[in-house]
Amino acid sequence: LFIFSGLEEVRFSYRVCKHLRMTIASGSVLSARHCAQAGHARNTLRWDLSPDEIRTMTDSLIARVKKVYDDVGSLNIENVSVENTLMTLANAKMDYASSHHVLAFPQYVCPSKELRSASTEADKRLSELDVEINMREDVFKRITALQNKQKDNLSAEEKRFLDRLVTLGQRKGLHLSKDIQEEIKRTSKLISELSIEFNKNLNEESKFLIFSEHELGGLAATFLSGLDKTAEGRYKVTLEYPHYYPLMKRCHNPETRRKMEMAFNSRCKEVNTAILEELIQLRAKVARLLGYGSHAEYVLEINMAKNASNVSDFLEKFHEALKPVGIKERKYILALKKRECLMKGYQFDEKINAWDLPYYMNQVEQRCFGLQPGCGGPDGKRRLPVAAMVANFTKPRKDCPSLLQHHEVETYFHEFGHVMHEICSNVKFSGTMVETDFVEVPSQMLENWVWEKEPLRRMSRHYKDGTPIPDELLDKLIASRVANTGLMNLRQVVLSKVDQSLHTSPRADTAEVFAKHCQDILGIPATPGTNMTASFSHLAGGYDGQYYSYLWSEVYSMDIFFSRFKKEGIMNPKVGKEYRRVILEAGGSVDGMDMVKTFLGRAPCQDAFFQCKGLVNSQEASM
């Protein structure tokens, strides 16, 4: 068994767990209150807030931000300046954003339901405030006046920020009649409230299923020892990722897998299906009031993709490239299933069910590569960026530390890429604020290091005696990157197309739309009676109409890695420093496409993207 340790270059790494304790690199464990008190003098991140403090701080933040907007809105238009308008609003937005994160964060991690509820309520109130301040027509008039007055006297970064404020106001309908503005405001507040409710329902989901040891055949004793038991000695299996995915990959019992898959894709089905379908209608309504054909057209306008047609073309091209690979993989998996059914005396139904897919895809990895996954501010001073990464990884047991599986390490690197983007940003105005279909580039780019031998050697060891992973096993692990590439990526196409379909229509039956795309693209039916979209948190978490961004961003992240790091050295500090300067430090101060062109020295292409997916016919196309 091997444990992947933290990166050597990362001096301090924090892990937030159910008891809000933080583990420092030395291994000592400090209480949340101690960490909060030690760090409070340097930043505003707090881990020890009470429900009353959250409510008081929320009231104070709302009052502060409203006063700033009232002051700017009452300025004589002829007297607007960079200092009294642009910088004043920038400071207020920074105050709002940083404080909002602190107040909303506990709802995702705190063990106290009272505190989670206070945090959720604060999130709702502040999201309503966000709608209010972004629809202040009086402030918008001062911003446009400043744009006309100072357009030739601004730095590039100031001009970009000011232009964004003007664009935001126009996209909120501040150039339209009062009646339409009020309707947009009312609807936007409802959208915000429903989105928070959707994710709150998922966060509070605590269902578990009970199985006997026989029903969990195929799962390692170490996995079973980490499960809670009933009074009768049966095992409680939750729907959380560290329980769900290992079971779906390794449990021999198809009926157990069926029950788990059905429960997992029925999470919050009734309540969240109703919320999502209302959200789709409300988003379409706002888009229509603003003069757009659909919500997708509205959100894509300011992305790199620009419109739904370009997204559709991109997904269709990728789908066509993957289709023959997916057909071969399904055929092979069906043969595996038939063979196992004959050996174990199961009835062979001549099809791949949703609960079969992860199980047999795991077998494909083992057969092809011999892997056994289970055995392994206003005062002018610079505000330091603060980021917190919350992960749902394998928990430690009494006799064993938390041994991360390779896919968990890949997830860690992905999320840590977002952390680096946040922490390394060195811009005048806060927030990364890049285009949504560029935001995944730094996170996906960092994933590549967990598929390279040198980094894997440096961050892994046997947890008992410290011996390294054998080269032979590392070679097999790296080769497994292309296993099941067709089906895994076709599923991303399914989710992207489902999202686009839902947000190019005024209303939709979400379960029906998902089932149709699942059958048409993946070739595997959705389980009747389930609705995966009810737990598809991206649809209520800022990726509505934009889930394609994961695939779109991957084109750029792969090009960056293979064209520079792979060629010049994955541990090359010169390339790393240039990447930090051009991509990470720039935040949202430069268009995503311009950043990529600067770093590559040319326009990006899809070669590396298709090669990494294991597709033979590498395809080149400027984007």
Active site amino acids:
415
At 177, which helix (H) or strand (E)?
Answer: none
What is the spatial distance between Cα 29 and Cα 8, in angstroms, rounded to a whole number? 19
DSSP of 106-173, one letter per residue? HHHH-S-HHHHHHHHHHHHHHHHHHHHHHT-HHHHHHHHHHHHHHTTSS-HHHHHHHHHHHHHHHHTT
Nearest Cα residue to 168 out of 101, 241, 98, 89: 89
Exposure string of 297-324, with b = 16+ CB inside 10 Å and e = fewer, is bbbbeebbbeebebbbebbeebbebbee
Integer Cα distance of 261 and 239 in angstroms: 9
Q: Which whole-number Å values give the CA distances from 71 to 31, 117, 139, 164, 511, in the listed order? A: 42, 33, 9, 21, 48
Q: Please, what sign has the CA dihedral across residues 426, 427, 433, 434?
A: negative
- Report the run of H or E that residue 255 belongs to, with start and end: helix 254-264
Dihedral sign of CA atoms 96, 99, 101, 106 in order: negative
Rounded Cα–Cα distance for residues 472 and 453 (Å): 11
Decide if 615 contacts 325 (C-beta within 8 A).
Answer: yes
DSSP 8-class letter at 532:
G
Q: In angstroms, rounded to a whole number, what is the distance separating the alpha carbons of residues 111 and 366?
A: 38
Going by DSSP bridges, is the β-strand pair 460-462/2-4 parallel, antiparallel, or unpaired? antiparallel
